[in-house]
Structure 1
Amino acid sequence: MNPLFSFNTLRLKLFGLMLCTAVSTPALAAEPGCPSEDLPTFVKAFSVSPELQKTYTATPVTEQRVAYDDKAYPITLRHKVLALKPGALALLDSEAQAKAGLKTFWVDDVTLVVHDTLGDVLQAFVFKKNTCWNLVRFEEWSVESLLNEHVPANETALEREVRKADIYQGYGSRETYLLTQYFFVLAQLIDLHAAEQGSSEGATNAIRLGYSGMSPEIAPALIEKLLLTHADKDETAAGMLSYFYCDRGNTEHQGPCQDPGKANETLIMAIKKFDSGALYASLAYNLMDENRGKPDMPRGLACLQEAAKRGHDESLGTLARMIKMSDVPQPGATCL
């Protein structure tokens, strides 16, 4: 056989093999383009497209979850991960939100929050603009895992709900999170729900949040209704009801008590029921304050004595200072 012919034949075969290989190798798929410069429009496309999610999720991406520290104090933990856990982005889809009865709102124009009414579902998706929008952080804010840890003995369902509100209020009190304001609102909603189911603590906590200005103010009629419902079984509610009759739910009220007679009557009824040093002290201060009706110093001092007898430290200190200034309890004066 002609050696030259053999060499040319081999070269042709190799060339043919190279052509076959080139044809059979698939071209690399192009990355999907940016669906929109407008973030809400981008999220709508991103939420239903695995390809967009893969392309426009930061690598690594930050994942944040709630946890307890070694002192059982609620904290958050952040980790850089190469990929989010399966299903983490499921609730970005508006159809999934509608089926689950969820709502959304934006924080600082770059964070989409998906939530239900009482904090059972609460997730935040934080985006950042580069050449296109990128998901840079996923925050899971449901505190269900925390509620299942460090559970108080014999805790009732209502007590668990109030504890849930306390956790969210605690996160809000730190004032370090994007959702700070919402945490207070959510805590109040949970407390109000607990109050409707019979929780006195839920009622008083919700009202305090309204007075604080961190959550929406509660209508005066509802404040009175809640406090009247719970005042006969909770001394805190009874004390708050007394103050309500002075300010009628107006957080800016600074003038005289609007109904000093009813305020004092409420305290007297509560004292007879609970025999509480704190309630005796409240009545004492009412009786000695000219803004809460005509002052009655002898009776007020007698109430301070009763409060001090029951271990109310503030009353003991006040009484000592008044005696030093020659305001001494009068023989025969009584509180009630």
Structure 2
Amino acid sequence: MTKNKRVRLLGFKGLTLLVCGLSSEAFAAQCPSDNFAEFVKAFSAKPEVRQAFTASPVQKLKVAVDGNKPKVIQQKLPALEAGELNVLSTKSSLILQVKLPNRLIARDQAGEVLKILTFKRSDCWVLSRVEDWSLEAVLDAQTQTTALSPEDRALHRGDMFNDLGIQVHSDSSAQLYEAALNSYLDGAQKGSVQAAFAAASISLSGQAPELATSKIFDLLITASKKVPDAGIALAGFYCDEGEHDEFRNCINPQKSLAALEGAARLGSADALIQLGESYETGKLVAKDLPRAIACYLEAEKSEHETGTRGVERLENQGVVANNSIHCL
């Protein structure tokens, strides 16, 4: 074979590698392992493995600001930016989670960082997609004129993660809900009662990981001191501890009743309705119809239709309101 023919042949082979979408290093390097978990260890530890087994082009997703709202942007890049995979460095304090069959999650405990790396399998595993859901730059852009306190920033970050989880409808939603939970817990630790209530709520919803029962109690008790809806949620949790069963008696009726009373004192008409129902049905305490109608009358002052219906129902049974008997 002449020299010119050999040059043309080598050029054709190089072109073939690019068309296949993989760097030539991927073919030169030996596959660390067919087992994904073992492969990820080598990919995380060695920059040369990351370089060799990253596709070109690679899909990139990130969150940017569109007005005052986060916007998801997707694009194909010939290569990742320098430092994009620094989250895998041994010097990084991030938590790395292997999600079989083909994903690697990098996150921190506070919800500030979330990256999802997706791999494809051919002759070896190859990084084909990077999702950067971290919202700190978005928060900075949104709060240029109005600075948020650390606890409110964490609460706002949690709300954005939760909204993205609802909008995305993909395998990433579960990770977004977990990031929302971590953000809410961060806000609660920094003093936000709204974040405490949100953390308990998203855990009880089943969207985010389930927190320990004692932790949910702590969050709801803290939030219920200032948030009426948290008091109502606490009343329900005292009864079922997150295991809904309409045929099971309330586990702790006295504490449940006290939580409803606390929410009612904070101005919740819904708590007054639930108190009325409890006295009417004997659900939490012995039946007390005069007190039940007192609760419905109090709720009616807030133009609560259920309160009006409760008053009418008891009056039809012959129950007469007594001004000396109060709901609370």
TM-score of the pair, normalised by structure 1: 0.76
One-letter identity of the residue aligned with 1:172: G
Is residue 189 of structure 1 aligned with residue 182 of structure 2? yes
Match of residue 110, structure 1, among 102, 110, 134: 102
Q: How far did 1:140 drift? A: 0.7
Q: Secondary structure at the match of 1:61?
A: strand
Q: How far did 1:62 drift? A: 0.8
CA contact 1:121–1:142 (8 Å) conserved in 2: yes
Match of residue 114, structure 2, among 118, 122, 146: 122
Match of residue 225, structure 1, among 193, 218, 224: 218
> Is the alpha carbon distance of 1:253 and 1:207 closer, same or farther for their aligned partners in structure 2, counting shifts above 3 Å?
farther
Match of 2:81 in 1: 85
Q: How far did 1:184 drift? A: 2.5
Match of residue 331, structure 1, among 300, 318, 321: 321
**How far, CA to CA, are the matches of 1:126 and 1:269 in structure 2?**
48
1:156-167 mapped onto 2 (5 Å cutoff): 156-167=149-160
> Is the alpha carbon distance of 1:61 and 1:220 closer, same or farther for their aligned partners in structure 2, counting shifts above 3 Å?
closer
Is residue 76 of structure 1 aligned with residue 67 of structure 2? no
Is residue 290 of structure 1 aligned with residue 282 of structure 2? yes
1:3-152 mapped onto 2 (5 Å cutoff): 31=25, 32-36=28-32, 37-46=34-43, 48-50=46-48, 53=50, 55-69=52-66, 72-92=68-88, 96=89, 98-151=90-143
Larger radius of gyration: 1
Match of 1:169 in 2: 162
* Stretches of structure 1 lacking an aligned partner (at least 5 in a row): 1-18, 22-26
* Stretches of structure 2 lacking an aligned partner (at least 5 in a row): 5-9, 15-23
**Cα shift readout 1:44-81 (whole Å, capped 9, x = no counterpart):** 5555345x5555433322110013556x4444211112
> Is the alpha carbon distance of 1:75 and 1:257 closer, same or farther for their aligned partners in structure 2, counting shifts above 3 Å?
same
Match of 1:12 in 2: none
Q: How far did 1:111 drift? A: 1.3
One-letter identity of the residue aligned with 1:280: L
Aligned length in residues: 304
What percent of counterpart residues are identical? 27
> Is the alpha carbon distance of 1:103 and 1:298 closer, same or farther for their aligned partners in structure 2, counting shifts above 3 Å?
same
Is residue 257 of structure 1 aligned with residue 250 of structure 2? yes
Is residue 242 of structure 1 aligned with residue 235 of structure 2? yes
One-letter identity of the residue aligned with 2:321: P
Q: Secondary structure at the match of 1:241?
A: helix
CA contact 2:282–2:288 (8 Å) conserved in 1: no
TM-score of the pair, normalised by structure 2: 0.78
**How far, CA to CA, are the matches of 2:65 and 2:137 in structure 1?**
10
Q: Secondary structure at the match of 2:255?
A: helix
> Is the alpha carbon distance of 1:108 and 1:73 closer, same or farther for their aligned partners in structure 2, counting shifts above 3 Å?
farther
> Is the alpha carbon distance of 1:307 and 1:134 closer, same or farther for their aligned partners in structure 2, counting shifts above 3 Å?
same
CA contact 1:287–1:294 (8 Å) conserved in 2: yes
**Cα shift readout 1:88-133 (whole Å, capped 9, x = no counterpart):** 12223xxx2x322222112232111122212222212211122333
CA contact 2:153–2:187 (8 Å) conserved in 1: no
**Cα shift readout 1:130-151 (whole Å, capped 9, x = no counterpart):** 2333221111111112222434
One-letter identity of the residue aligned with 1:135: L
**How far, CA to CA, are the matches of 2:147 and 2:279 in structure 1?**
41
**How far, CA to CA, are the matches of 2:158 and 2:261 in structure 1?**
32
> Is the alpha carbon distance of 1:53 and 1:190 closer, same or farther for their aligned partners in structure 2, counting shifts above 3 Å?
closer
Match of 2:172 in 1: 179
